[in-house]
Amino acid sequence: SAEDGSRAWLRYAPVPQASSHRLPPSIIALNSSSNSPVYVAGQELQKGIKGVFGKELSISSTNKGSPAIVVGTIDAYKKTYGSFKEARELEEDGFFLSTTGNTVRIIGQNERGALYGAFEYLSRVSQGKFSSVSYVSNPHAPIRWVNEWDNLDGTIERGYGGASIFFKNGYVVENVTHAAEYARLLASIRINGIIINNVNANPTLLNDRNIAGLARLADAMRPFGVQLGISLNFASPQTFGGLSTFDPLDANVDAWWANITNKIYQSVPDMAGYLIKANSEGQPGPLTYNRTLADGANMFAKAVKPHGGVIMFRAFVYDNKILYANWKNDRANAQVDFFKDLDGKFDDNVVVQIKYGPIDFQVREPPSPLFSTLRKTSTAIELQVSQEYLGQQCHLVYLGPLWKEILEYDLRADGKPSKVKDIYSGERFKRPLGGSAAVVNVGTNTTWLGSHLAMSNLYAYGIMAWDPAVEPDDVLQDWIRLTFGFDRKVMEVITDISMKSWPAYEKHTGNLGVQTLTDILYTHYGPNPASQDNNGWGQWTRADTFSIGMDRTVKNGTGNAGQYAPEIASMFENVDTTPDDLLLWFHHVPYTQKLKSGKTVIQHFYDAHYEGAATVQTFWKAWESLKGKIDTERFEHVLFRLIYQSGHALVWRDAINQFYYNLSSIPDEAKRVGNH
Ligand code: GCW
């Protein structure tokens, strides 16, 4: 039903074995003032237990000496029960969960942690995991945010789940029910911050009516421990404030930002901070006045500092009008070029938010070299749940495995272990702040994202932000149990098609690191390999009659390989040591170049496209075998999409293969491509 969609993984469906499990007779939510996260935790426990166990437990706020499910903060717990020996192990937002003996103890380092612990307990019992446990769980990084690209008019940039839940006709919506429901979902996967508007920000967000609206949204999400933040438009002092300039070093501009910031904090005292996209894709920024990006970031940093806010400053800065004719031009170089000399120049509440790859959410990219370049700057990784280049929620593409590869990638800074996940967490370079952000773009659609199966990506994002060590297939299976129940066949099929989906998508779109090959000029959807080249966007493949790929070597190309630490740089510099799946990212080679597999590049293209598309043909059939095991609404909705996906995979296959056949005139050994 529609309700199943909006409840997502928080369905609390009855669990058959639950009746034989001994459950404490009441819930104690310690020191919970109404609408605090601990209060919400109590309510959530009551609701979840009712669903899973079919039992109605009462909630009180004091210890009556009988066994109970106790939830609260360390401080509240100690006040009521005396000692708590695990207290010292808990970090900010962390929690302790113990189900040993006849009580359940859920103790958070702070209120948010207590709520996370309650969700963890409910996730366990909802999955039929009743064994006794006792453990501490702490976050991998302090910043675990989502970014929404919602416009004030109610549309969403790269949103595939309907209209905005935050804005309509230029203003914040009156009804904040959706916002609260979304915050609840986010809290259950331990997301603690949300930027609610598009990075290409409209300055009228700062008018009085909208600031009052921000307060309303923040109030709706605060009980779930989700802090609201906003994106700003750098030119606002001029375009909205009526000043003659938006130069970050102009005292009036500075004062204008400080003033508006103070005003917002009066309405939203715990605002998380600002997200800034500056001087990218034609957007205004400090470079407009020959100031540095750090000057721009620090201006905002100073404004939010007294209020405890942070500035997420996007590294996605590049010129979208670079000259194709210049062999050495490379958009992939932009981030390091723009940021390397600014290392150490950012205020301590600035976090540079870096897309996982150097270009733009492609199906395969190496990690951005900026991660191993910035040593004295806090960083966050930017991922994308919204499948902009990856089938836009019309295709099932489970992204856990893609993210896992990036997070675990060892960039070998200074020849030492330097996994991406340990860089952005702050651990590797001893930074106080850091974490991750994902562009999510949920909408009013009852499925949130426009597709039931796409929700595995949102779930996985949160779980991996908390703990990148988890395995993507385990996370997926938790999500399947929570979303679809316990049927073995359901588990088998959804696991199988999800785990095959990213590799299949890569195979029938862009192979060997050539990028996704979607249309990049308009829709970012469907095959359009011709759109990559001969324009200023820099998502080039440099495909011609004989050869293909970006020469990013230092010796003969754009020098991008040299932006990595020496061990990685020399691997990418050399065509023989570059892994096949990034060959065309780093090298320009003839179509007849032999891969490690022994195949030529062009034959690999042909074969991979047939393989990938063939795999996708199996998805809908596998899903169809679940008829009767999943409610009709979700069954039909997913089936429709998977059938569409199977057709579209064939379109992809033939469009790409025919394109490269036409260019290269090299026949397919298996005689499938071309005119026969
Ligand atoms: O991927 C590109 C998108 C733009 C987006 C931009 C960005 C919000 O096509 O729609 O703008 O990235 O990340 O800023």
User: Shortest CA distance to 438 belongs to which of 472, 400, 391?
Assistant: 400
Q: Which CATH homologous superfamily contains domain 2-137? A: Chitobiase/beta-hexosaminidase domain 2-like (3.30.379.10)
Cα(156) to centroid(ligand 1), Å: 11
Which tokens go with 184? 């609840």
What phi, psi does 282 have (nearest 5°)? 80, 5
What phi, psi does 623 have (nearest 5°)? -60, -40
**Which pLDDT score, from 0 to 100, does residue 34 have?**
83
What is the DSSP secondary structure assignment for residue 12, as one 8-state letter? -
Cα separation of 657 and 609, whole Å?
A: 7
Which amino acid type is present at position 609?
Answer: H
Which amino acid type is present at position 229?
Answer: G
Q: Which residue's structure tokens are 């020191």?
A: 31
Q: Is 199 in the pocket of ligand 1 (CB under 6 A)?
A: yes
Helix (H, G, I), strand (E, B) or coil at 274: strand
Q: Which CATH homologous superfamily contains domain 529-550+588-664? A: Alpha-glucuronidase, C-terminal domain (3.90.1330.10)
Cα(506) to centroid(ligand 1), Å: 21
Atom of ligand 1 nearest to the CA of 439: 13
Pocket probe mutation, ligand 1, options 160, 388, 520, 537, max atoms within 8 Å of Cβ: 388
Helix ranges restricted to H, 200-292: 208-221, 236-239, 251-267
Q: Map out the domains of the chain as residue ranges.
A: 2-137, 143-483, 529-550+588-664
The CA–CA distances, whole Å, from 302 to 201, 205, 278, 290, 539 equal: 20, 21, 17, 20, 36
What phi, psi does 435 have (nearest 5°)? 155, -140
| Backbone φ/ψ region at 12: left (φ over 0), alpha (ψ -120 to 50), beta | left
> Mean pLDDT per segment of 10 residues, for the chain of length 676 residues?
80 93 94 88 97 96 88 95 93 97 95 98 97 97 98 98 98 97 98 97 98 98 98 98 98 98 98 96 94 98 98 95 97 97 98 98 98 98 98 97 98 98 98 97 97 98 98 98 97 98 98 97 96 97 98 98 98 98 98 96 98 98 98 96 98 98 96 82
**Which pLDDT score, from 0 to 100, does residue 674 have?**
82
Atom of ligand 1 nearest to the CA of 200: 8
DSSP string, 434-459: -EEEEE----SSTTSSSSTTTHHHHH
**Which pLDDT score, from 0 to 100, does residue 676 have?**
56
Using CA of residue 513, residue 518, residue 524, residue 526, what is the dihedral sign? negative
Cα(522) to centroid(ligand 1), Å: 12
User: Shortest CA distance to 452 belongs to which of 631, 572, 307?
Assistant: 631
Q: Which helix (H) or strand (E) holds 137?
A: strand 134-137
Q: Which residue's structure tokens are 């199943």?
A: 4
Q: Is 158 in the pocket of ligand 1 (CB under 6 A)?
A: yes
Q: How far apart are the first and last CA of the chain?
A: 49
Atom 13 (ligand 1) nearest CA: 316
- Distance from chain centroid for Cα 93: 19
C-beta of residue 569 within 8 angstroms of C-beta of residue 535: no
Catalytic residue (choose from 93, 360, 422, 506): 360
Cα separation of 94 and 138, whole Å?
A: 4
Cα(244) to centroid(ligand 1), Å: 29
Q: At what angle do helices 455-466 and 472-484 cross, to 10 degrees?
A: 130
Q: Is 388 in the pocket of ligand 1 (CB under 6 A)?
A: yes
Active site residue 631: no
Q: Is 320 in the pocket of ligand 1 (CB under 6 A)?
A: no
Cα separation of 515 and 532, whole Å?
A: 9
Q: Using alpha carbons only, what angle is made at residue 244 by residues 242 and 245, rounded to the nearest 5 degrees?
A: 110
Using CA of residue 580, residue 409, residue 327, residue 280, what is the dihedral sign? positive
Catalytic residue (choose from 281, 467, 580, 631): 281
Atom of ligand 1 nearest to the CA of 382: 13
Cα(170) to centroid(ligand 1), Å: 21
**Which pLDDT score, from 0 to 100, does residue 163 have?**
98
Catalytic residue (choose from 4, 93, 388, 478): 388
Active site residue 120: no
Cα separation of 178 and 567, whole Å?
A: 48
How many CB atoms are located within 10 Å of the residue 461 CB?
26
Helix (H, G, I), strand (E, B) or coil at 375: coil
Q: Is 360 in the pocket of ligand 1 (CB under 6 A)?
A: yes
Q: Across 210-366, where does the E strand assignment appear?
A: 227-232, 273-276, 310-314, 350-355
Helix (H, G, I), strand (E, B) or coil at 72: strand
**Which pLDDT score, from 0 to 100, does residue 614 have?**
98
User: Shortest CA distance to 570 belongs to which of 412, 444, 418?
Assistant: 412
Q: Which residue's structure tokens are 């207290």?
A: 87
C-beta of residue 454 within 8 angstroms of C-beta of residue 494: no
Q: Using alpha carbons only, what angle is made at residue 111 by residues 106 and 117, rounded to the nearest 5 degrees?
A: 30
C-beta of residue 72 within 8 angstroms of C-beta of residue 107: yes
Which amino acid type is present at position 240?
Answer: F
How many CB atoms are located within 10 Å of the residue 316 CB?
20
CA atoms within 13 Å, Cβ hemisphere of 613: 21
Cα separation of 186 and 180, whole Å?
A: 10
The CA–CA distances, whole Å, from 595 to 270, 590, 591, 592, 601 equal: 54, 11, 10, 9, 7
User: Shortest CA distance to 466 belongs to which of 226, 144, 118, 222?
Assistant: 144
**Long-range contacts at 372-375 (CB < 8 A, ≥ 24 apart):** 372/411, 372/412, 372/413, 372/418, 372/423, 372/564, 372/565, 372/568, 373/336, 373/339, 373/340, 373/343, 373/563, 374/339, 374/340, 374/343, 374/429, 375/343, 375/344, 375/413, 375/429
Q: In what order do the strands lie in the sheet with 95-98?
A: 58-60, 26-29, 69-73, 104-108, 95-98, 134-137
Cα(45) to centroid(ligand 1), Å: 39
Report the 3 state secondary structure along 561-601. HHHCCHHHHHHHHCCCCCCHHHHHHHCCEECCCECCCCCEH
Cα(174) to centroid(ligand 1), Å: 28
Active site residue 281: yes
Query: Per CATH, which fold does 143-483 belong to?
Result: TIM Barrel (3.20.20)
Q: Is 316 in the pocket of ligand 1 (CB under 6 A)?
A: yes
What is the DSSP secondary structure assignment for residue 552, as one 8-state letter? -
Which tokens go with 211? 């600031």
Helix (H, G, I), strand (E, B) or coil at 339: helix
Atom 1 (ligand 1) nearest CA: 360
- Distance from chain centroid for Cα 110: 24
Cα separation of 113 and 249, whole Å?
A: 40
What is the DSSP secondary structure assignment for residue 435, as one 8-state letter? E
**Which pLDDT score, from 0 to 100, does residue 1 have?**
56
Predicted TM-score (pTM) of the model is 0.98
Atom of ligand 1 nearest to the CA of 157: 10
The CA–CA distances, whole Å, from 491 to 57, 198, 393, 487 equal: 31, 36, 21, 6
